[in-house]
């Protein structure tokens, strides 16, 4: 086996050297397609984390019209207290809203100075027993007289989920196209390698080399192409994950950095995919172009 | 060692390359297959190494019936058969020694065996000093010796030669024939397709003559042609 092992490795690298440009473009295509796949996986993970966190503390804000009368407000309040899904609620008057606002933006003088009394509406803040019921509760309050707007995070969640679904679907489409391109490029690289060595292959078959002996260097070449490409993609994804952490430390509002663990996990998935793409590509080439 | 029983080969375009050929070649024999171009000599050799399948009939080589041999066993059949061609089929990027060693490498022989066998076989074909040269630095006769060394290095039971002297001048050809004769004396069966009259006539070995795919003569210690043709 030692002779064979050395032989196979030597032949594999010779093939890659001979066809360096082809091999390089195949490797880059693998890297790009897998980096895209990795991004899709990470984005999914990221949005799942955010959505999950938001779901946990859904609060409904019922903003009242500025011209809402006292009886209307009373009616809204009694309606809210009659809904069984409501855990607790609180009335926030215009004055309280202003105080809260001034507290929240005390660093930004211009902002505070521009917002005078009466600009911010009064509101009810409702916490639910079950966040899933936000829609049902919201619908019951929406049309009441004196109510201006009912806001709750689940709308945002829905919108975010819809957007990420579209984004991931779009990216998955490109991932598929790039993956096919990667397989075909690898197949073509192997085809050229087979063509460059057809004389040798002929002699090998003539003196009784087994079919597997002829195939192995080419299979290794495909596998190596996929592997190197996936390692590049791994590095890219890892860099991206580290970047999200940097963004988080600069702007804490982005409360969803990708953890190192998740990045490595995704990277390993990419490596498996890369090797798969490599084997598939060389398999196709050998089936079609190597008559053994 | 080689037996064909009513073997015919019709190519897809309808050409009848061989028609009802039955021969029986014993171990250690030296046999010429003669005939003009297109008489079926090359097809006959291609059938023996299973590069072509017979349309009809059965073939035995080295004790095995090969016409129904499954394809994964073909490499093992070929390890019993050495092949020498008119165009040498050497790898230009490998040295003489590497070209010969290649035949041992690809069937998985250990490095130690390769290191002991290569000098011996190069000695046998008289190219010991040219071990490090590349094929394009050699004469035609020397290149053919390399290809014979490669065909013989794994000690096959049968050596098949398709016009081995076709590209060589008469003097060089004589040298090659001496080498093939020497290999034959080790007990290796040699089958050589040729249309070189003088070689066949001077060696006086068994002659199988093909004409248009038919077996027209099978004669011990024969000449190239019969009677007036000789």
- Whether residue A207 and residue B49 make contact (CB cut-off 8 A), yes or no, is no
Neighboring chain B residues of A212 at a CB cutoff of 8 Å: none
Among chain A residues, the shortest Cα distance to B153 is held by A207
Tokens representing A144? 């009441």
Partner B contacted by A195 (CB < 8 A): no
The reported pLDDT for the residue numbered A127 is 82
Partner A contacted by B155 (CB < 8 A): no
Which residue, B50, B99, B42, B57, is CA-closest to B77? B50
- Whether residue A199 and residue B150 make contact (CB cut-off 8 A), yes or no, is no
Nearest by CB to B89, which of A3, A203, A209? A203
Domains of chain A: 2-54+157-289 (no CATH), 59-152 (3.30.70.3040)
Is B183 a residue whose pLDDT tops 90? yes
Partner A contacted by B91 (CB < 8 A): yes
- Residue B103 distance to chain A (closest CA, Å): 6
Q: What is the pLDDT of residues A153-195, one digit of tens each?
A: 666 767 777 877 887 788 888 888 888 888 888 888 888 888 8
Torsion of CA A132, A138, A139, A141, to 10 degrees: 150
Confidence (pTM): 0.68
Is B161 a residue whose pLDDT tops 80? yes
Which residue, A85, A256, A64, A55, is CA-closest to A153? A55
Q: What are phi and psi of B225, to 5 degrees?
A: -115, 170
- Whether residue B150 and residue A207 make contact (CB cut-off 8 A), yes or no, is yes
Q: Please give the Cα distance from A82 to A80 (Å, whole number).
A: 5
Q: What is the pLDDT of residues B5-44, one digit of tens each?
A: 999 999 999 899 999 999 999 999 999 999 988 899 999 9
Query: ipTM of this model?
Result: 0.82
Top pLDDT among A113 and B174 is at B174
Partner A contacted by B110 (CB < 8 A): yes
For B206, residues 6+ apart whose C-beta sits below 8 A from its C-beta are B25, B29, B30, B31, B32, B218, B219, B220, B221, B222
Q: Please give the Cα distance from B141 to B135 (Å, whole number).
A: 11
A window 4-33, beta carbon within 8 A of B: 4, 7
Q: Please give the Cα distance from B165 to B188 (Å, whole number).
A: 19
CB atoms within 10 A of CB A135: 12
Specify whether the CB–CB gap between A85 and A131 falls below 8 A. no
Exposed / middle / buried, residue B69 (Cβ in 10 Å: 0-12, 13-18, 19+): middle
Q: Please give the Cα distance from B91 to B72 (Å, whole number).
A: 25
Q: What is the pLDDT of residues B70-85, one digit of tens each?
A: 888 899 999 999 999 9
The reported pLDDT for the residue numbered B226 is 67
Neighboring chain B residues of A17 at a CB cutoff of 8 Å: none
Partner B contacted by A196 (CB < 8 A): no
Neighboring chain A residues of B77 at a CB cutoff of 8 Å: 208
Among chain A residues, the shortest Cα distance to B107 is held by A209
Interface test with A, best of B75, B83, B116 (most A CBs within 10 A): B75
Per-residue pLDDT tens, chain A, 292 aa: give them: 455 677 788 878 877 777 788 788 888 888 988 888 888 888 777 777 777 666 666 678 888 888 888 888 888 888 888 888 888 888 888 888 888 888 877 777 777 777 777 778 888 888 887 766 777 888 888 888 888 888 876 667 677 778 778 877 888 888 888 888 888 888 888 888 888 888 888 888 888 888 888 888 889 988 998 999 999 999 988 888 788 777 777 665 555 556 777 788 888 888 998 999 899 989 888 888 776 5
Q: Please give the Cα distance from A199 to A189 (Å, whole number).
A: 18
Partner B contacted by A210 (CB < 8 A): yes
Among chain A residues, the shortest Cα distance to B48 is held by A206
- Residue A211 distance to chain B (closest CA, Å): 7
- Whether residue A206 and residue B77 make contact (CB cut-off 8 A), yes or no, is no
Q: What is the pLDDT of residues B90-102, one digit of tens each?
A: 999 899 999 999 9
């Amino acid at each position: 086996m030692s002779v064979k092992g050395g032989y196979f490795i030597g032949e594999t690298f010779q093939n890659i050297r001979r066809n360096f440009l082809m091999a390089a473009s195949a490797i880059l295509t693998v890297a790009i397609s897998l980096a895209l796949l990795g991004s899709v996986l990470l984005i999914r993970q990221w949005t799942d984390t955010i959505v999950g966190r938001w779901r946990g503390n859904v609060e409904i804000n019922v903003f009242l019209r500025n011209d809402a009368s006292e009886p209307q407000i009373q009616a809204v309040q009694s309606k809210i207290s009659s809904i069984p899904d409501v855990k607790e609620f609180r009335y926030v008057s215009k004055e309280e809203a202003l105080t809260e606002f001034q507290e929240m933006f005390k660093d930004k003088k211009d902002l505070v100075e521009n917002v005078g009394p009466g600009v911010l509406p009064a509101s009810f803040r409702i916490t639910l027993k079950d966040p899933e019921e936000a829609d049902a509760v919201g619908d019951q309050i929406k049309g009441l007289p004196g109510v201006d707007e009912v806001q709750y995070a689940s709308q945002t969640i829905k919108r975010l989920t819809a957007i990420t679904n579209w984004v991931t679907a779009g990216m998955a489409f490109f991932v598929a196209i790039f993956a096919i391109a990667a397989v075909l490029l690898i197949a073509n690289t192997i085809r050229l390698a087979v063509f460059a060595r057809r004389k040798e292959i002929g002699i090998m078959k003539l003196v009784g080399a087994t079919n597997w002996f002829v195939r192995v260097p080419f299979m290794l070449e495909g596998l190596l192409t996929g592997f190197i490409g996936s390692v590049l993609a791994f590095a890219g994804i890892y860099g991206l994950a580290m970047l999200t952490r940097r963004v988080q430390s600069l702007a804490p509002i982005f409360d969803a950095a990708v953890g190192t663990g998740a990045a490595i996990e995704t990277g390993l998935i990419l490596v498996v995919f890369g090797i798969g793409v490599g084997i598939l590509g060389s398999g196709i080439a050998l089936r079609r172009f190597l008559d053994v | 060692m080689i037996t064909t029983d009513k073997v015919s080969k019709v190519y897809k375009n309808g050409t009848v390359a061989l028609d009802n050929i039955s021969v029986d070649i014993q171990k250690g024999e030296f046999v010429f297959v003669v005939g003009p171009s297109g008489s079926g000599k090359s097809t006959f050799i291609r059938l023996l190494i299973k590069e072509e399948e017979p349309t009809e009939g059965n073939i035995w080589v080295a004790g095995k019936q090969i016409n129904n041999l499954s394809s994964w066993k073909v490499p093992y059949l070929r390890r019993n058969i050495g092949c020498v061609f008119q165009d040498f089929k050497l790898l230009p990027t490998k040295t003489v020694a590497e070209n010969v060693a290649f035949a041992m490498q690809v069937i998985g022989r250990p490095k130690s065996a390769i290191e002991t066998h290569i000098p011996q076989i190069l000695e046998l074909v008289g190219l010991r000093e040219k071990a490090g040269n590349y094929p394009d630095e050699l004469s035609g006769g020397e290149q053919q010796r390399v290809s014979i060394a490669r065909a013989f290095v794994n000690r096959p039971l049968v050596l098949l030669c398709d016009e081995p002297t076709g590209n060589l001048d008469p003097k060089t050809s004589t040298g090659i024939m001496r080498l093939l004769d020497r290999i034959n004396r080790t007990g290796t069966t040699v089958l050589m397709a040729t249309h070189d009259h003088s070689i066949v006539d001077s060696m006086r070995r068994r002659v199988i003559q093909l004409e248009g795919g038919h077996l027209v003569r099978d004669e011990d210690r024969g000449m190239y042609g019969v009677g007036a043709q000789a």
